[in-house]
Amino acid sequence: MSQFIENQKWRYATKKFDATKKVSASDLEILKKAIQLSTSSYGLQLYKVFIIENPEIRAKLQPVSWGQSQIVEASHLFVFANIVDVQDEHIEDYVQNIANTRGLTLEDLKGYSDFMKSKIVPLPVDKKSVWTSKQTYLALANLMNAAAELKIDVTPMEGFEPEKYNEILGLNEIGLNASLVATVGYRHEEDATQHYAKVRKPIEELFITI
């Protein structure tokens, strides 16, 4: 656990990436596995993660990301896209996966399936979209923690135009919405931010024990 804390002290929101350094294929697989194993409500994982390497696409995304250089300089660009309108089939796909993984029948899981459908599907679309977008932050946390262990930098970003991302990446057509962006790579030696002392609230101010 002490190493985990040291990793958290090491990481920071990298402002300038070294464009000459690339995340290896083996490390990228570890990051993908960390995201795959992330917790999510009901275990549904109602999102997709786009890993964008194509420089032409990233060049198109930079202007709608407040012009931030990390979009084009980082080794990889991760775009977390939530499912906007959860329907019965999303839950049915998940239940089928449970049945296949655990050797159960769909009948065994009917009660759980019906319960999820009754709680999720009738919600207004805007509420469903807000809920599923929150799930992407749970996945981001796993990405950041795994990356810190590998000494790979991750900068989470909300400074972008989701509508433009949706348009450029064709997300609207497949019922997705860009909710969160993370640049992944290695800090540039000229990035002065890495030398700043980490600023956080004191423990006694942050926590309240009742």
99 lies in the same domain as 202: no
143 lies in the same domain as 65: yes
124-128 long-range CB contacts below 8 Å, 24 or more apart?
Answer: 125/84, 125/85, 128/84, 128/85, 128/86
7 lies in the same domain as 18: yes
80 lies in the same domain as 144: yes
Whole-number pLDDT of residue 44: 98
Q: Which phi and psi (to 5°) does residue 82 adopt?
A: -85, 150
Structurally, the chain folds into a number of domains equal to: 2
Reference 116, options 209, 193, 42; nearest CA is: 42
145 lies in the same domain as 95: no
Q: Which of 103, 122, 141 is the last residue of a domain?
A: 122
Whole-number pLDDT of residue 2: 83
* pTM of the predicted structure, to 2 decimals: 0.96
Report how far residue 19's alpha carbon sits from residue 112's, in angstroms, rounded to the nearest whole number. 47
Q: Which residue ranges in the chain fall short of pLDDT 50?
A: none
Whole-number pLDDT of residue 1: 64
Domain coverage including residue 103: 87-122
40 lies in the same domain as 130: yes
58 lies in the same domain as 109: no
